[in-house]
Structure 1
Amino acid sequence: MIKSALGILAVGLIGTAALVSDYIPGSAQSVEQVLLEDAQRAVPPELPIDLAIDGQKLILKGELNDTDTRTRTLALAADAVWSGGIIMGGITAIDASGLKVTTLPPKADPFIWFAENEGDALVFSGFVPSAAARETLYSLAEDIFTGHEISGTLEIASGVPGTDADWVKAASALLRGLSYLRDGVAQANGPEFSLNGVTRTSENEALARAAMTSLPDFYRSNILINISPAPVSIDDLLTETVLDDAVVKSPVETADQEIEISSAPNNVTVRCREDIAAIIARRKIGFSSALADLDLPSRNQLREISTKLNECENIRLRITGHTDSSGNANRNRQLSGYRADAVRAFMISVGAPAERLSTRGAGSSEPLVSNATPAGREQNRRIEFDIITDDN
């Protein structure tokens, strides 16, 4: 009996020594390493999780996107180790206090971003993948658009094409290119990064194009820059104003010619207004998410409007977003603006002329009907198009 007790005690002492010594096989350090490797093999490597062992405790730290993933991760980690006491050397506890759940922002599809440079004003709109990305772009704008009034709101959303770092690099390159233009628009629409505008010199055009060469390979660039030298006389100034307004009037030699030239565009304008109005009236523009995810029928409808708008050079569209009265009024105004921007961005992406599309967000301030019923709220959530011509 005494010999048996001494044998058990000896085994216990050897096991304990194995856990507290780093110098013999089966030491605490080697046992911890084995258990850690088992846990690392069980937990998917793509998850942003750090695993560590402290004695007989497994420690998990990191940020996950939802509670279901956290629950599955804990189950995988628990299955990867085996429980035991001091002598057996197994895991006796799991510490997941550092394993947080961070809810992703709503997804934006298309993921759009705008920076519009007009005179001494720079206006942002659209989405960024993070608060850090937003701060980077605002700071860069302050550095390179000196003397400009910088305004606009950038909303954080998921769905960015590529990595956050690559997207910020591409948007920064686009913003630098825009800084060389007198007037222009920088736009990111998914992986497509576009720069359109007017500059004074060919040197500035070259600098703008050079800035765009630093886009990561994942993204595509589209550049359209017109060179308009600074006016040196009153005649040049008048010519520039006419070109900026995209209105070129042909001289007429007789009254008959004047009547023929002026009346024809009016007939075309009437037909254009009717055609575009008919396409708009066909169905309501719809969104499949809480932000700016256009549904497929709406995309097809907007393609038709864009095609027709290209055929009607004297037609402009003002796109207004509306929401119902649910939720915060400021948030509703932002949301309505983002949806209007999403419509404009998609139309530009399928060929609509950017300079003839404008947006505004009305929020819940202009309801069609009462918001007291679900049907009424549904009717008030809408996109409206105002067809604008030179005579209205």
Structure 2
Amino acid sequence: MRLSALMIRLVVFAVAAFGAFTAARSAVAIVEERSVIAVRETLVDKGYEWASVLGDGLQVILEGTAPTEAVRFRAISAAGEMVDASRVIDNLSVADSEEIKAPEFAIEILRNDAGVSLIGLIPASADRDDLAERITDIADGKPVTDLLEVADYPEPETWRDAVNYSLRALEELPRSKISVNAERVVINAISDSPEEKRRLETLLARNTPDSIRLAVNIGAPRPVISPFTTRFRIDADGAQFDACAVDTEEALSQVLSAASAAGLTERANCTLALGTPSQTWGEAVALSIGAVADLGGGTVTIADTDVTLIAPLGTGQGTFDDVVGELENALPPAFALSSELPERPETSSGGPPQFTATLSPEGEVQLRGRIPDAVTNTVAENFANAKFGQASITMGTRLANGLPSGWSVRVLAGIEALSKLSNGAVIVQPDNIQVRGNTGNQDASAEISRLLIDKLGQGAAFEVDVTYVEQLDPIAGLPTPEECIEQIGVVTENRKITFDPSSADISASAQAVVDDIAEILKRCGDLRIRVAGYTDSQGREVMNQALSQQRAEAVLTALQSRRVPVGTFDAIGYGESDPIADNETEAGREANRRIEFSLIIPESTAEETSVLDEIAAEAPDEEPSEDAPAADDGSD
């Protein structure tokens, strides 16, 4: 019985122990599974998919390769948030660090009246001495502050193109900041006038390396206009401005909105300027334009604080009074209004007196029509000579009595208005002046209107119909680089640059050719041009190459002495290579002795192509060959 009872106890104990063990195993498995799932979900949510999670009892094992040490630490911390940190086993590794990337090479260049400053990082392979020399030349005696650092990394392919372009730009910009890297050049500068701003923008846009992105921001002081004038009219040709000046962007918006509502469809050339007499200028002009629209036509002139409204012929008195009254009460206090309702002129069998001045595209000026006396006739001729320079003046005027008061002033004002045009005509009548023609000045219409208002008064009736022609604009009409080379070819088609025998001295007879080439290049602006020298095959090859180099450099020096900017030019002698004719004949040798001008195209964008303009060199090129007689008979 005792044995039996003991066995029962042992069996019960064993069963209980087995049950407890099984329950513990099951509990551990559940805890392990839930821990692994919780940690894995957390790592995935936080973007650590590269980590794998394993369970080992109550421990959670992390394996995988972290991109950086910091990311590895964050992954372990994320796992520790879900289970006790002591249960997290770190089996993570870290990827090998990448090689250190090359730094970005860049230069900030600041130029002002105090000198030139440079700061930035340049490649060790860059020619720092050459850079310093070019900057010193540009500074023209003013201090140069060099804060450049050097890094020994490979030079970007487009680095030199960007730097060379920036230095060429710096020569033209005495007050500027230029930011340079291998891909982009950013230019911020200040010019002396709007005209200079346009010239610089045109110049900088030309010959830009194709591999470089360019951003240009050139500021210019606003012009001072006196009297501050806007003139708007509506006639049979529609609504248009003869002159338009505003002081702020807000005023510009007011004026253009009013003009658009009055029927203006063309682009208005309004000038942001200084000299406004009142801060309410935009409001006054907009109201005045609205009055012209209400009249259905006419002209309004706002000069400083004086507003002159002229109704169209045939306007009813009631309508005129209503519009004038509304405008007079609406204008800001500083402005004074005068108005005019024209009457129909009486017809005359003889017709009104008239004076006409015309300017041809070739510069020929003709003055015709009625003049009150001989003194006025002489004054008109001398005034035309002064305004048109060396133009040919043809006088077709005749003396007449009974001309209106102020006729002489109107004639001289018409001649001066004509001088603002490239070609055109001015017709002066007692009640009107008509100015029509072409110009290369975008502001010519406004300048003519201000001139006539100043000379004849605000109430003067005149019509200005001037067309801007880009080809006549001395800035926008600059020739392209290819056109410059073509023009050199035209100039030198039947003439040659010659040299003294066996030397690199340009002969006296060739100086005129160089003069003409220099004038073309001055108009062409900043170009990259190669001046190449060639010889015939007589004499030793080494001597031929040396002489051709000297002659190419002589042409470059001659251009520089004529104030051609040759900083971007290259002079290269090719000797007897690339003949264009047979060296066995005298005519062929003469053709092979030549200077060629070609455009330099950056290697990074294309192979060099050129429109060659051959300027044959008259004189022989080298010492006699070893087989030739040595006597000097005045030829090579």
User: What TM-score, normalized by structure 2, do the two folds share?
Assistant: 0.29
Higher Cα radius of gyration: 2
Question: Greater share of helix residues, 1 or 2?
Answer: 1
